[in-house]
């Protein structure tokens, strides 16, 4: 658990717990602008939380979840070490521009380094220009496109 004091906030960055489910799914609803996560167990929260290859961290201010980040690690043929990939990062609008996203990313980078990952990949939506700028300010480089197909 990390405790950061910034912008007069006492922000705790910690691993997600089972008891965070309802509040975390509320943040996911805000993240995707839908209430599709309001129905219990319509997700993989517990599987991800219990996995040793997936990680979920939350940002907590005064016992209230205000953000989260999730990432996964895996081997790929082209690298001799693990790679990490950011799955989601979200901070409630009232807590943006207060270093909460940076604190969450610092935790991801620290954990990825601890796990001896070679690289961290991020796939922000092409329309999220604010996110692009955020990641560039953290030292990330735009390296290409991602494509998707539903199966």
Q: Is 117 among the domain residues?
A: yes
pTM: 0.88
Distances 56 to 88, 100, 138 between C-alpha atoms, Å: 9, 15, 20
Q: What is the CATH number of the domain that holds 130?
A: 3.40.630.30
Residue 3 has pLDDT above 60, yes or no: no
Taking the C-alpha atoms of residue 80 and residue 78, their distance in angstroms, rounded to an integer, is 7
pLDDT digits (tens, 9 = 90+) for 110-122: 999 999 999 999 9
Range of the domain at 82: 2-137
**Nearest CA among 26, 23, 31, 35 for reference residue 60:** 23
Q: Provide the pairing of β-strand 120-121 with 54-61.
A: unpaired
pLDDT digits (tens, 9 = 90+) for 37-81: 666 777 888 999 999 999 999 999 989 999 999 999 999 999 999
| 12 neighbors 60 (Cβ within 8 angstroms) | yes
Q: Is 70 among the domain residues?
A: yes
In the chain, the number of structural domains is 1
Q: Is 118 among the domain residues?
A: yes
């Amino acid at each position: 658990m990390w405790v950061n004091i910034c912008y007069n906030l006492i922000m705790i960055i910690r691993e997600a717990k089972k008891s965070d489910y309802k509040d975390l799914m509320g943040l996911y609803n805000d993240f995707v602008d839908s209430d599709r996560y309001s129905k219990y167990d319509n997700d993989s929260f517990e599987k991800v939380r219990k996995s040793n290859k997936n990680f979920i961290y939350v940002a907590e201010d005064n016992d209230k979840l205000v953000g989260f980040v999730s990432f996964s690690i895996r081997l790929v043929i082209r690298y001799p070490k693990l790679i990490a990939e950011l799955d989601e990062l979200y901070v409630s609008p009232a807590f943006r521009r207060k270093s909460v996203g940076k604190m969450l990313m610092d935790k991801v980078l620290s954990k990825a380094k601890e796990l001896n990952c070679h690289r961290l990949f991020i796939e922000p939506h092409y329309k999220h220009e604010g996110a692009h700028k955020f990641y560039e300010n953290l030292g990330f480089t735009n390296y290409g496109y991602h494509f998707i197909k539903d199966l």
